Structure 1
């Protein structure tokens, strides 16, 4: 969609608008007679009533390089895709008929409370995983803090390279860093890998073990026997 900049009406036409209003004509009739939108007629008359003139008043500063409509269009693009780059927004701006520099686009987004920030990396969870996490949290909401302090959590994981391991920026508002569209998903597959076992509690982290070769039941029991109880002792959970 191409956004056109509105053109200022000639002063002679604005004077005729006010003259018709003073003669008792309504906005709708003036709009039809002068072929001017009714909203424009209302704006001209409101300005005349407030300032007593139809001439163009001096602006308080340099006119904005990007119109309000153009800025709103860019904000919509960012909300649809928070990871969109400034260069891509610049192309969108040109397509809308408002060619803008990168600094102008950045300033416009800042005015709307959107800032470029490094995207947080979070595990890619399925709907089933999310549901299970919520159910677990609800089930243990009433557990006492003393009970929680005695729990030692352990798990093993295979961590592999997934995608490009570089910073990716997103446009977001303060306080939305962990909202799903503003994060980069990570998974446990995709390239060179390392398998780890570790544990932690409210008191801190326990042992971290690098697992050589393929994990099986016997190796898992050995890891627990050699590290789980010792971690509990180190963290004084007994």
Structure 2
């Protein structure tokens, strides 16, 4: 039997990403001069994702999700702060194995220098 706290956690979790076909449908409705409110009502999607999809399509020309731009930098900082005595070569290998980033030792060195890590 589920408790009340379990039900709250399930309800408050993040929603799943919209499929490519649903995003395409949003853009199609937008091109047919439907309002954001109407698109939201027709597709049973909240208005804020509909607005975000349309905005992204206007700015980037695509509706696909983009990778995080600072992900590698954040992971590099976290790795260095955990163990500040690691060599640049071992940091580069660690990033390649843990998250699949293809990163050279020169790039790691340059980025660490730019973040204020010297030595």
Return the TM-score normalized by structure 2: 0.49
Tell me which protein shows more strand as a share of its residues.
1
Which protein is bigger by CA-based radius of gyration? 1
Higher relative contact order (CA 8 A, sep 6+): 1
Tell me which protein shows more helix as a share of its residues.
2
Return the TM-score normalized by structure 1: 0.25
